[in-house]
């Protein structure tokens, strides 16, 4: 379990209480009172009975001493896990769109950073804004041998280009999400959901292959040590080979590396794309620049020639 | 990385997708969208729950802190160290061989819970003797918030993830087949000393169960035979000690003598953990009082006559009409109560020839003349002086148990009986009642009933009769003198003057200083006597060879000398010799015994209940 400070635990609980609509009160910096609804197991009541309970929660052992009877909520505690378990039913799917709220100058600065040759063309005319669909899937990857290591992977698949952006959720930062899809200017996706998931799975396969192989190699060494030990027991006494074989298989099952992939939640998100059109130059077609501010990414369609290159070409002619 | 045992392909990581894309897509099509805040929080929850590798911190501590505070459980440092070592260094496969009363079950519970919290174990099977199933279930639910199912039907095995069963049930054909078809993340076997013989169904069942992690629990991993130890360790990790042939060649002089002990110790240390009482693991003081009493005229005569009969038959050797084991039992019974002896005498009379039967009937008539047992008068006196305190009375014999129960009832003292013939639920009910009902302040317990039972809520014990095997005496005391006991423990040994009991106690108490010993030394005594004859048989031999009390005293004195010299020479090994390094002095058995372990108040020949309080 991740290491959390008492403040982080408290913030998580308050967020959870807010999302679930439960009443709560911060008595002081250390004590939190929360009124929650608890389900009495169907084992006793069918259907399960719901009951209101008031929880007195503290977050440090010192506070626990000041408030006898209050429940200490720390990483790994029953109560924190209770809140986490309660969230299993929430936030599994979401549909949101985002707006670009920055100033024109800001986006132009970013464009210039991405493509320095654009600097001469600045300032650009006002961009059009379109919304591009992304499929965001957050996964837990459990790397299992006889040991376990878990990671969270957040992948965003551009449903138009098929490009996958790792650590996608972090790209969104604290931006304001607006519920639902935008009403206009939505780019048409080129990928179906089935195809999108196939791409994501392929990406995950590659991600695992590219991982530092020590976790596999070390498990293999341990497995071979066990297998050798097992063999010593059976070889001299010529015991039942079938027995040896089945035990060896069990060992293999214990040590073989596998990666269990669990989706945490899925979002259909529409991210803003700023579409700049550069004027036609000579025989060149109009150049269209598509800037994705949340991903800080630039796409070009048509041919764009930097002014320096254009001047050089004119001189030559 | 090259290897002859595995190919890279065999160890290529395989991705297993927990949810199929179709199911996720279905979820999307349902359009049950949640808010962005809920979405972010869900991700945050997943992030918090991530398992980021084995570190030094156990998850059970924060998880169960509140529960343990409520139920008053404070794990001891040796228990925490054991859990960390099993999960870390030993990788979930260990023989937990702590001495009696040091909390093996708590350690196992902590390991089970830790594995559950880490997501390593879901399907778990616990095999115990039938009498301990409910105790295990209660411990796991109360102290670890784990809610096991006690297996009954054959579909229980597959249906439930956490199952407790007796070995006897699990090895039944219809259950065994189902169990062998399953794969367990964790298998725990309590009282694992019953798994020392690979030709038994118990051993074969446990060996065949497919499991990832595996715990064996026993306080006596090694008793008489190194082969038994080999079998136990091979069950845990086949090959740890090589094949039996190589083990015999390399580590055995004979079946009871080891060689290359350093190497063997090192191999055992990789799978076995044994915590012992000592300066680091202290229990409250133990006060032991010998309560000598004089038998009535009828009792003395009955004792004298029965002992004469036993000696006479014993000396006949193979020509005797009664086998030696029965004679030893009869001699032990006569020290317990006339009622216990009368039961055996009656059974003997049914099988005896006419001449023999006449003798036996005469003895039975003498038994009939004993109307009251003097020991009970002392029991009543102790009970009077101990006030409201809960008291456990131990006896070896059912007939004595019934007599004590009846006598107490007559006195208006409510008592409960507890013995091996009771069903698990009745045992559970009886213990619960004894614990909670202030009206029932006495539990009369037989040896078999008391095995493995935790009674540390009680601190007073009366040994109505004295088991001849010193380990048994220690095991009795271990029921109340164990981790979790917070008060001084009082043990009263009732001894009839002029009987073998008195001489035996003198031997154990005065000469061998039994109550100051640690269990490792006791085990060595038992091991030593297992070479030739049992300790009981040697005591009996001393009795039979003696014409009078003086001779008996001298014979037992010699037996004591023999014992002490063997102990001093450390020729007799015990499990501790094999798993503890010679310089591990603070953990090794200490002849003098730590002061807090025992305080013998029985050396004054006429200790009374008043002196004890």
pLDDT in tens, A253-276: 889 999 999 999 999 999 999 998
Q: At a CB cut-off of 8 Å and minimum separation 6, what does B584 contact?
A: none
Domain boundary among A36, A65, A91: A91
Rounded Cα distance, B220 and B569, in Å: 22
Q: What is the pLDDT of residue B140?
A: 93
Q: A142 versus B357: which is more confidently predicted?
A: A142
Please compute the mean of the pLDDT values over residues B75-93 and round it to a whole number. 91
Q: What is the pLDDT of residue A245?
A: 85
Instruction: Tell me whether B169 touches chain A (CB under 8 Å).
Output: no
* Selected residues 174-233 of chain A with any CB under 8 Å from a CB in chain B: 177, 179-180, 193-194, 197-198, 201, 204-205, 208-209, 211, 216-217, 219-220, 222-224, 227-233
Q: At a CB cut-off of 8 Å and minimum separation 6, what does A305 contact?
A: A281, A284, A313
Task: Say whether pLDDT at B6 is over 80.
Answer: no
pLDDT band at B561 (very low <50, low <70, confident <90, very high): confident
Same domain, A99 and A183: yes
Rounded Cα distance, B94 and B237, in Å: 9
- pLDDT, tens digit (0-9, with 9 covering 90-100), for B336-389: 999 999 999 998 888 878 878 888 899 999 988 888 789 999 999 999 988 888
Rounded Cα distance, B247 and B253, in Å: 11
Q: Which chain B residue shows the shortest CA-CA distance from A253?
A: B212
Domain boundary among A71, A91, A111: A91
Task: Say whether pLDDT at A92 is over 80.
Answer: yes
Instruction: Tell me whether B355 touches chain A (CB under 8 Å).
Output: no
Number of domains in chain A: 2
Domain boundary among A53, A70, A91: A91
Q: Phi and psi (nearest 5°) for B601?
A: -105, 10
Judge: B66–A71 Cβ closer than 8 Å, yes or no.
yes
Same domain, A63 and A105: no
Among residues A93, A122, A106, which one has the least CA distance to residue A263?
Answer: A93
Judge: B34–A231 Cβ closer than 8 Å, yes or no.
no
Parent domain of A46: 6-91
Rounded Cα distance, B274 and B216, in Å: 12
* Selected residues 29-58 of chain B with any CB under 8 Å from a CB in chain A: 30-54
Same domain, A82 and A106: no
Same domain, A113 and A197: yes
Strands (DSSP E) along B354-402, which ranges? 391-395
Q: B528 versus A104: which is more confidently predicted?
A: A104
Q: Does A227 reside within a domain? A: no
Cβ-nearest to A258 among B5, B13, B28: B13
Q: What is the pLDDT of residue A69?
A: 84
Same domain, A56 and A171: no
Q: Which chain B residue shows the shortest CA-CA distance from A181?
A: B33
Q: Does A242 reside within a domain? A: no
- Residue B505 exposure: Cα atoms within 13 Å on the Cβ side: 27
Instruction: Tell me whether A138 touches chain B (CB under 8 Å).
Output: yes
Instruction: Tell me whether B61 touches chain A (CB under 8 Å).
Output: yes
Please compute the mean of the pLDDT values over residues A161-176 and round it to a whole number. 94
Tokens of B439: 């009206």
Instruction: Tell me whether A142 touches chain B (CB under 8 Å).
Output: yes
pLDDT band at A311 (very low <50, low <70, confident <90, very high): low
- pLDDT, tens digit (0-9, with 9 covering 90-100), for B96-122: 998 878 889 999 999 999 998 887 889
pLDDT band at B528 (very low <50, low <70, confident <90, very high): low
Tokens of B117: 């919290």
Task: Say whether pLDDT at A169 is over 70.
Answer: yes
The count of other CB atoms within 10 Å of the CB of residue B249 is: 11
Q: Each residue of A166-181: b (16+ CB within 10 Å) or e?
A: eebbebbeebebeeee
Most distant CA pair in chain A, distance: 91
ipTM, interface predicted TM-score of the complex: 0.91
- pLDDT, tens digit (0-9, with 9 covering 90-100), for A24-82: 999 998 999 999 988 776 666 667 788 899 999 999 888 888 888 888 898 878 889 89
pLDDT band at B583 (very low <50, low <70, confident <90, very high): very low
pLDDT band at B584 (very low <50, low <70, confident <90, very high): very low
Sign, CA dihedral B494-B500-B503-B504, equals negative
Same domain, A87 and A107: no
Task: Say whether pLDDT at B159 is over 50.
Answer: yes
Same domain, A29 and A168: no
Best of A57, A69, A94, A154 to disrupt the B interface by mutation (most B CBs within 10 Å)? A94
Average model confidence (pLDDT) for chain A?
87
- B50 vs A contacts (CB less than 8 Å): 1-2, 140, 150-152
Best of A43, A57, A205, A265 to disrupt the B interface by mutation (most B CBs within 10 Å)? A265
Same domain, A290 and A182: yes
Among residues B461, B472, B485, which one has the least CA distance to residue B392?
Answer: B461
Q: Does A77 reside within a domain? A: yes
Full strand arrangement of the beta sheet holding A49-58:
A23-26, A32-40, A49-58, A71-72
Q: What is the pLDDT of residue A225?
A: 92
Please compute the mean of the pLDDT values over residues A225-242 and round it to a whole number. 80
Q: What is the pLDDT of residue A57?
A: 95
* Selected residues 97-116 of chain A with any CB under 8 Å from a CB in chain B: none
For the whole prediction, is pTM greater than 0.90?
A: no
- pLDDT, tens digit (0-9, with 9 covering 90-100), for B171-186: 999 999 999 999 999 9
Tokens of B121: 């174990």
Q: A213 versus B2: which is more confidently predicted?
A: A213
Instruction: Estimate to the nearest angstrom the gap between the alpha carbon of B240 and the chain centroid.
Output: 26
Collapsing DSSP to helix, strand or coil, B600 comes out as strand
The CA distance from A177 to the nearest CA of chain B, in Å, is: 7
The CA distance from B413 to the nearest CA of chain A, in Å, is: 40
The CA distance from B51 to the nearest CA of chain A, in Å, is: 5
Q: Does A217 reside within a domain? A: no
Rounded Cα distance, B578 and B258, in Å: 9
pLDDT band at B586 (very low <50, low <70, confident <90, very high): very low
Q: At a CB cut-off of 8 Å and minimum separation 6, what does B460 contact?
A: B386, B389, B390, B391, B392, B480, B489, B490, B492
Q: What is the pLDDT of residue B55?
A: 62
Rounded Cα distance, B172 and B389, in Å: 43
Q: Which chain A residue shows the shortest CA-CA distance from B30?
A: A93
Best of A68, A93, A98, A268 to disrupt the B interface by mutation (most B CBs within 10 Å)? A93
The CA distance from B110 to the nearest CA of chain A, in Å, is: 14
Instruction: Tell me whether B245 touches chain A (CB under 8 Å).
Output: yes
Same domain, A38 and A176: no
Quick one: chain A helix, strand, coil %, rounded to 5? 40, 30, 30
Cβ–Cβ under 8 Å, residues B484 and B100: no
Q: B33 versus A184: which is more confidently predicted?
A: B33
Tokens of B584: 């591990």
Q: What is the pLDDT of residue A2?
A: 62
pLDDT band at A283 (very low <50, low <70, confident <90, very high): low
- A256 vs B contacts (CB less than 8 Å): 10-11, 14
Same domain, A55 and A112: no
Q: Does A307 reside within a domain? A: yes
Instruction: Tell me whether B199 touches chain A (CB under 8 Å).
Output: no
Same domain, A144 and A78: no
Q: Does A137 reside within a domain? A: yes
Q: Does A117 reside within a domain? A: yes
Rounded Cα distance, B606 and A208, in Å: 78
Q: What is the pLDDT of residue B386?
A: 86
Rounded Cα distance, A301 and A129, in Å: 16
Task: Say whether pLDDT at B582 is over 50.
Answer: no
Length of chain A: 317
Interhelix angle B338-351/B354-369, rounded to 10 degrees, is: 160
Same domain, A104 and A54: no
Judge: B36–A177 Cβ closer than 8 Å, yes or no.
yes
Cβ-nearest to A193 among B6, B16, B25: B25
Strands (DSSP E) along B432-579, which ranges? 440-446, 460-463, 489-496
Among residues B213, B227, B279, B269, which one has the least CA distance to residue B97?
Answer: B269
Collapsing DSSP to helix, strand or coil, A42 comes out as coil
Average model confidence (pLDDT) for chain B?
83
Rounded Cα distance, B86 and B110, in Å: 11
Rounded Cα distance, A74 and B299, in Å: 66
Collapsing DSSP to helix, strand or coil, B473 comes out as helix
The dihedral over CA atoms of B532, B534, B535, B537, expressed in degrees to the nearest 10, equals -100
Instruction: Tell me whether A44 touches chain B (CB under 8 Å).
Output: no
Judge: A148–B12 Cβ closer than 8 Å, yes or no.
no
Q: Does A79 reside within a domain? A: yes
Tokens of A156: 């965003």
Q: What is the pLDDT of residue B601?
A: 44
Please compute the mean of the pLDDT values over residues B210-225 and round it to a whole number. 86
Among residues A28, A34, A41, which one has the least CA distance to residue A16?
Answer: A34
Tokens of B484: 């979790």
- What percent of chain B is predicted at pLDDT more than 70? 85
Q: What is the pLDDT of residue B599?
A: 47
Q: What is the pLDDT of residue A221?
A: 93
Rounded Cα distance, B215 and B236, in Å: 8
């Amino acid at each position: 379990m991740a290491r959390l400070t008492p403040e982080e635990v408290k913030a998580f609980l308050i967020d959870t209480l807010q999302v679930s609509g439960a009443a709560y009160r911060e008595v002081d910096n250390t004590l939190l009172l929360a009124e929650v609804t608890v389900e009495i197991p169907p084992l006793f009541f069918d259907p399960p009975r719901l009951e209101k309970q008031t929880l007195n929660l503290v977050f440090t052992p010192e506070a626990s001493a000041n408030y006898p009877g209050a429940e200490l909520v720390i990483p790994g505690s029953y109560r924190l896990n209770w809140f986490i378990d309660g969230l299993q039913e929430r936030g599994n799917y979401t549909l949101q769109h985002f707006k670009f709220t920055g100033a024109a100058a800001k986006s132009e600065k970013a464009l210039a950073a991405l493509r320095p040759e654009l600097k001469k063309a600045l300032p650009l005319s006002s961009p059009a804004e379109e919304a591009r669909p992304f499929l965001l899937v957050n996964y837990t990857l459990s790397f299992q041998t006889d040991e376990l290591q878990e990671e969270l992977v957040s992948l965003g698949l551009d449903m138009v280009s098929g490009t996958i952006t790792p650590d996608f959720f972090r790209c969104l930062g604290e931006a304001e999400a607006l519920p639902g899809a935008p009403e206009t200017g939505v780019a048409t996706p080129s990928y179906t959901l089935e195809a999108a998931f196939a791409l994501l799975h392929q990406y995950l396969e590659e991600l695992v292959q590219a991982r530092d192989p020590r976790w596999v190699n070390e498990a293999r060494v341990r497995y071979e040590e066990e297998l050798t030990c097992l063999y010593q027991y059976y070889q001299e006494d010529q015991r039942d080979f079938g027995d040896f074989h089945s035990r060896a298989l069990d060992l293999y099952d214990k040590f073989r590396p596998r990666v269990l992939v669990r989706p945490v939640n899925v979002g259909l998100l529409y991210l803003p794309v700023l579409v700049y059109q550069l004027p036609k130059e000579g025989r060149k077609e109009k150049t269209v620049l598509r800037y994705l501010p949340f991903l800080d990414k630039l796409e070009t369609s048509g041919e764009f020639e930097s002014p320096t290159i254009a001047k050089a070409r004119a001189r030559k002619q | 990385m090259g290897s002859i045992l595995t190919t890279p392909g065999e160890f290529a990581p395989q991705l297993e997708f927990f949810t199929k894309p179709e199911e996720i897509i279905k979820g999307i099509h349902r359009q049950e969208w949640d808010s962005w805040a809920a979405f972010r929080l869900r991700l945050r929850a997943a992030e918090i729950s991530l398992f980021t590798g084995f570190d030094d911190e156990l998850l059970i501590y924060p998880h169960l802190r509140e529960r343990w505070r409520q139920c008053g459980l404070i794990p001891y440092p040796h228990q925490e160290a054991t859990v960390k070592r099993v999960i870390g260094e030993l990788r979930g496969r260990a023989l937990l061989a702590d001495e009696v009363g040091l909390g093996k079950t708590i350690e196992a519970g902590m390991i089970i819970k830790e594995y559950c919290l880490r997501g390593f174990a879901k399907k778990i099977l616990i095999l115990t003797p039938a009498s301990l199933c409910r105790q295990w279930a209660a411990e796991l639910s109360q102290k670890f918030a784990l809610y096991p199912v006690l297996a009954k039907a054959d579909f229980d095995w597959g249906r439930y993830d956490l199952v407790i069963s007796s070995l006897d049930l699990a090895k039944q054909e219809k259950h065994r087949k189902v169990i062998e078809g399953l794969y367990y993340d964790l298998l725990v076997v309590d009282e694992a000393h019953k798994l020392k013989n690979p030709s038994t169904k118990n051993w074969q069942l446990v060996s065949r169960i497919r499991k990832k992690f595996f715990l064996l629990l026993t306080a006596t991993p090694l008793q008489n035979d190194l082969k038994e130890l080999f079998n136990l360790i091979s069950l845990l990790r086949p090959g740890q000690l090589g094949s039996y042939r190589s083990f015999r060649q390399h580590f055995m002089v004979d079946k009871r003598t080891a060689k290359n002990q350093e190497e063997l110790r090192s191999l055992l240390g990789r799978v076995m953990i044994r915590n012992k009482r000592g300066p680091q693991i202290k229990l409250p003081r133990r006060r032991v009082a010998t309560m000598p009493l004089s038998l009535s005229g009828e009792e003395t005569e009955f004792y004298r006559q029965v002992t004469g009969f036993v000696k006479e038959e014993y000396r006949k050797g193979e020509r005797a009409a009664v086998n030696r084991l029965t004679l030893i039992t009869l001699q032990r019974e006569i020290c317990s109560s006339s009622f216990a002896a009368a039961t055996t005498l009656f059974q003997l009379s049914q099988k005896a020839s006419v001449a023999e039967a006449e003798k036996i009937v005469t003895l039975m008539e003498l038994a009939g003349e004993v109307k009251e047992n003097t020991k009970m008068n002392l029991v009543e006196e102790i009970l009077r002086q101990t006030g409201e305190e809960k008291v456990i009375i131990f006896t070896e014999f059912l007939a004595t148990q019934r007599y004590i129960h009846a006598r107490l009832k007559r006195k208006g003292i409510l008592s409960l009986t507890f013995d091996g013939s009771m069903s698990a639920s009745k045992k559970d009910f009886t213990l619960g009642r004894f614990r909670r009902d202030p009206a029932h302040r006495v539990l009369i317990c037989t040896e078999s009933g008391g095995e493995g039972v935790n009674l540390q809520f009680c601190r007073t014990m009366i040994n109505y009769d004295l088991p001849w095997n010193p380990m048994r005496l220690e095991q009795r005391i271990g029921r109340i003198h164990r981790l979790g006991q917070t008060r001084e423990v009082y043990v009263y040994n009732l001894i009839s003057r002029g009987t073998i009991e008195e001489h035996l106690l003198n031997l154990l108490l005065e000469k061998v200083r039994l109550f100051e010993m640690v269990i490792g030394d006791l085990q060595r005594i038992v091991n030593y006597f297992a070479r030739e004859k049992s300790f009981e048989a040697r005591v009996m031999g001393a009795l039979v060879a003696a014409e009078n009390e003086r001779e008996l005293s001298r014979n037992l004195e010699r037996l004591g000398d023999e014992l002490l010299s063997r102990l001093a020479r450390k020729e007799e090994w015990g499990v501790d010799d094999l798993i503890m390094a010679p310089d591990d002095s603070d953990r090794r058995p200490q002849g003098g015994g730590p002061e807090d372990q025992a305080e013998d108040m029985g050396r004054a020949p006429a200790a009374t209940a008043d002196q004890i309080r």
